[in-house]
Chain A
Amino acid sequence: MTVPLLSLQGLTKAYPGVVANDSVSFDIGEGEVHALLGENGAGKSTLVKMIYGLVKPDSGKMLLRGQPFEPAEPRQARADGIAMVFQHFSLFDALNVAENIALGMENPPEMRDLAARIREVSETYGLPLDPFRTVGDLSAGERQRVEIIRCLLQDPKLLIMDEPTSVLTPQEVEILFKTLQKLQSEGTSILYISHKLEEIRTLCDHATILRLGKNVGECTPSETSARDMAEMMVGSSLQTPQRAAREFGEVAMDITGLSVPAPSAFGTALKNVHLKVRKGEILGIGGVAGNGQDELLGVLSGETLTDADAVKLHGKPIGRLGPTARRRFGVLAAPEERLGHAAAPDMSLTENAMLTGSVREGLEKNGFLDWGATTDFAERIIKAFDVRTPGPGNAARSLSGGNLQKFVIGREVLQDPDVLVVNQPTWGVDAAAAAAIRQSLLDLAAKGAAVICISQDLDELMEISDSFAALNEGRLSAPREAAGLTVDEIGLMMGGAHGMEVAHV
């Protein structure tokens, strides 16, 4: 048997209170696309951080082509041919592509030579990119290309990709896969982290599945069903949300011809948005991040005021009403950014329950606050949505992302909204809790509420929405019935690959 490129043997890493990785072992062969599968919090990120030299393992060892490999810092890992594309890009919006790439290099060459090399690599691997464009103007897919090209310039032996497709349109995913396949054919190994099973089945040769920090199994994805892999990930059988057949009522929320200028230089302007959602209907809004999702939520929640007639609730103009007045009328929202937008990090859960609950839960009388009732409300949310926390007195920032997300969604759902707007409702939430959140949205719709669900997770949208529309550069496509939509159609609604063709490789 040949020596694997990278062999992990019994890697263990513990943080105070949690074992992130518990003696994880597996091999990555030369030229292999290896998937690392697992739910949020399964320990995938810690594991790759150890490989990339960001975290030092407590015990266990790594062998690179049979030689001991102990990177003390990322620079050393890079020198040994390991490159990583992070889920969150580290790019400066105000600089251009070449400048951004030069910033990450030890000895950057002349800008003109660098630009030439960027062009060369981008053409070779079918990643169209102009080195002199400003990063702030690029789509998420293009930004990711910057990161990938930054890695490829180092000529890596192992490329680590952390959830690369979460920000891409289906067409952009296709471009990315072509690139990865070309890299593989040249002998580069790829460690591919994801929880999207279908793409792992198309792309990867081998998969390692992590659960609660332990390696719980390996499989060959092309021969294993997605459901089996999912159950290995979760460790139990999955419950699919139940949707009851529903009758739609009259139009609850109606947006006509809404245009809003971009709030900042790198924000997105909303352009001529039309939207109607009926009672009992779930409208799914897809689209790649940064195409106006935040701005649309702001318009619906009342944070951004518009012409009175642009936003109508049951036919009444509410465009000039702020968040408090809209809550009184039953329009509730849960923004994407949990810490700092949906919740105040340093305030307790009780105080955060007050944040949106004061009007509808009657937590305020003549301006004076009823903290007793607020604590009860917070406890109700914690109980109903299974939020893991010692109690409502704990600060919001002490909760894990998924738990806080449950709290934020629960806070709105329990207030019995007429119209609920959620943005990325299950982002960072484990599969079981995500299913519970989706179920609660479906239940809410079954009770006659209109739900607008903005999400980048197409599977989620297909699972719960009745109709589907996509945001692309601030424009909303015409909504279509969700049942029967194909991936290609959805991709086209999302604006394709931003006008870029799949390059021929």
Chain B
Amino acid sequence: MIRLEKRPQPSRAWSMATPLVAVLATMFFGGLLFAVLGKPPVEAIRTIFWEPLFGEFAFYYRPQLLVKGAPLVLIAIGLSLGFRAGIWNIGAEGQYIMGAIFGAGAGLAFYPSESFLIFPFMVIAGAFGGWLWAMIPAILKTRFGTNEILVSLMLVYVAEQFLASVSLGLLKNPEGFGFPGSRNLQSWDAAHNAELIAGSGMHWGVVAALIAVIFAYVLLNRHMTGYHIRLTGEAPRAAKFAGVNPTRLVLFCLGTSGALAGLAGMFEVSGPSGQISIDFNVGYGFTAIIVAFLGRLHPVGILLAGGLMALTYIGGDIAQSNLQLPAAAIQVFQGMLLFFLLAFDLLTNFRIAIGKPEVA
């Protein structure tokens, strides 16, 4: 009989190996899935993982990796702080939207000025928008004990309606021939989050994501606030005994994750996307939850996981167009990745023992 035994200590080796094993298992079972669908499994896996990096058109796909990976990492870093403390912000998508609206709105208010202050002002406004949206569940939670999972999630849909409203009204391009959507910020230099090195995909959002990784690493390992975050997640009662103020922690975690999601939205709207439109958001805020867990809530892990996730997105797109794989199959494939990660994660704290169980 096979059973699980709790390890006396979490295994370091397994905690490192888990993501790798999960990726391998996903490749294997994903391959099986593609084979059942009548597609060549090896070719499909190669297309997803190899093509974007080293294929014939890699010069086009590689910058895309940064463009797609940066918002994921930026949002996931913020989420991971809360997740570590057991504070569940599920509404990063909404904060991302609000960050974009505030950022774009703050810039467009000064159109067509060419002041160099406009872009920094938009950055601050974007972070503020996300922070503000995250403060709603935070304050409701600390004052009235509401569940932040539900409130933050519901606010995503409110934000989406708000997005539709401003695309059709407040921020609509007056020279847009009645089409919904704002002015295109890409064609306005003062507000454009342009590539820092042409053709590299490297924009200010990528820089911000890297800074966020370093910031989170230092915070969690070297700072009291980070220690309190980890303590709260592992033993809430011990955290209270240590003197952690739960209210302040909720405000800090939700606020930081909201601000980072808002920044991601702002960098997206002023860069790769270019304008506020009804379908501006594409689910980065939700995918970032997967990235955060895939990276084991560790800053460096999240950096790698964000890259991997971006890879499966781009590779998935290529597989869809080259091999006619259905989009749903790609989504199942991405779901498998999270599933296997969580499943193998068990081995960090448990080992498999074979033998008769003992009731104790």
Chain B, 201-245, CB within 8 A of any chain A CB: 222-225, 227, 230-231, 234-235, 237-243, 245
**Residues of B contacting A322 with CB < 8 Å?**
243, 245
Best-buried of A54, A327, A367 by chain B (most CB within 10 Å): A367
Best-buried of B224, B231, B243 by chain A (most CB within 10 Å): B243
Query: How many chain A residues touch B (Cβ–Cβ < 8 Å)?
Result: 40
Interface contact tally, CB-CB below 8 A: 82
Name the one of B10, B227, B230, B241 contacting A301, with C-beta atoms under 8 angstroms.
Answer: B241
Task: Tell me the complex Cα distance, A318–B55, Å.
Answer: 68
Known: A346-B234, A355-B242. A395 touches B10 (CB 8 A): yes
Quote the shortest CB–CB distance from A70 to chain B (angstroms): 14
Chain A residue with the shortest CB-CB distance to B236: A340
Known: A351-B227, A367-B223, A395-B8. A324 touches B234 (CB 8 A): no
Chain A residue with the shortest CB-CB distance to B225: A367
Contact A345 B222 (CB under 8 A): no
Known: A324-B243, A394-B9. A340 touches B235 (CB 8 A): yes
B328 within 8 A of A: no
Name the one of B10, B231, B243, B245 contacting A344, with C-beta atoms under 8 angstroms.
Answer: B231
Quote the shortest CB–CB distance from B236 to chain A (angstroms): 8
Name the one of B222, B235, B358 contacting A55, with C-beta atoms under 8 angstroms.
Answer: B358
Contact A342 B359 (CB under 8 A): no
Chain A, 318-346, CB within 8 A of any chain B CB: 322-325, 327, 333, 335, 337, 339-346
Name the one of A327, A339, A341, A343 contacting B243, with C-beta atoms under 8 angstroms.
Answer: A327
Known: A340-B238, A356-B242. A346 touches B10 (CB 8 A): yes
A259 within 8 A of B: no
* Per-position binary interface string of chain A over residues 358-377, scored 1 when its CB falls under 8 Å from any chain B CB and 0 otherwise: 10000010011101000000
**Residues of B contacting A364 with CB < 8 Å?**
224
Contact B223 A54 (CB under 8 A): no
B356 within 8 A of A: yes
Contact B358 A56 (CB under 8 A): yes
Quote the shortest CB–CB distance from B285 to chain A (angstroms): 29
Interface size class of chain B, counting residues whose CB lies under 8 Å from the partner chain: 20 to 34
B197 within 8 A of A: no
Name the one of A49, A55, A369, A398 contacting B224, with C-beta atoms under 8 angstroms.
Answer: A369
Name the one of A340, A343, A344, A398 contacting B9, with C-beta atoms under 8 angstroms.
Answer: A398
Quote the shortest CB–CB distance from B357 to chain A (angstroms): 10
Quote the shortest CB–CB distance from B161 to chain A (angstroms): 40
**Residues of B contacting A343 with CB < 8 Å?**
235, 238
A80 within 8 A of B: no
**Residues of A contacting B234 with CB < 8 Å?**
344-347
**Residues of A contacting B198 with CB < 8 Å?**
none
**Residues of B contacting A302 with CB < 8 Å?**
243
Chain A residue with the shortest CB-CB distance to B230: A347
Contact B224 A367 (CB under 8 A): yes
Task: Tell me the complex Cα distance, A342–B231, Å.
Answer: 12
Residues of chain B touching chain A, judged by Cβ–Cβ distance below 8 Å, are 8-10, 222-225, 227, 230-231, 234-235, 237-243, 245, 356, 358-360
Between A and B, 8 residue pairs with Cβ closer than 8 Å are A55-B360, A74-B359, A337-B237, A342-B241, A345-B235, A346-B234, A355-B231, A395-B9
| New A-B pairs, 13, CB < 8 Å, besides A340-B237, A344-B231, A347-B231 | A303-B240, A323-B240, A324-B243, A339-B235, A341-B235, A341-B241, A347-B235, A356-B242, A367-B225, A368-B222, A371-B222, A395-B9, A397-B8
Chain A to chain B: the 3 pairs with minimum beta-carbon distance, closest first: A324-B243, A323-B243, A344-B235
